[in-house]
Amino acid sequence: MIKKGTEMKNVFQKEPVTRRLSTPWSGCQFDRKRHGGLFDRGSADSYYHRPRSPHWWPHGTGRGEMITDLTPSERAEYLAGYEYNEKNGDKKDWG
């Protein structure tokens, strides 16, 4: 019998369990490795303490023309990146 409040451990497990990120984000640009995409730009704006300003760069960050005229789904993808970073607290330390 196990007492209430007893911490349960898997004695065969050597490494902590890493859970895969389960997200509702699956739009055409939800690719964390793609620099300049909607999700990437949203998370970068949050990281650098910038205000929300939905945009993306079709040829990579800072290359070509910045796109700001977005569809509702594109805007949602940018905001998903921004909110993802806000929830995870990953912020640039300027000090």
Tens of each residue's pLDDT in the chain, 95 residues: 444 554 444 444 444 443 344 445 555 555 656 788 999 999 999 999 999 999 999 888 999 999 999 999 999 999 999 999 999 989 999 99
Closest by CA to 37, choosing from 70, 59, 21, 52, is 59
Please tell me the total count of domains within the chain: 1
Query: Residue 55 domain-assigned?
Result: yes
DSSP state of 37: S
40 C-beta neighbours (distance < 10 Å), count? 23
**Domain around 36:** 30-65
Residue 5 within a domain: no
| Residue 51, domain member (yes or no) | yes
pLDDT at 89: 87
Taking the C-alpha atoms of residue 53 and residue 68, their distance in angstroms, rounded to an integer, is 8
Q: Is residue 46 part of a domain?
A: yes
44 phi/psi in degrees, rounded to 5: -70, -40
Domain assignment present for 24 = no
| pLDDT of the residue at 44 | 95
Q: Is residue 21 part of a domain?
A: no
73, part of any domain: no
Distance CA 78, CA 41 (A): 7
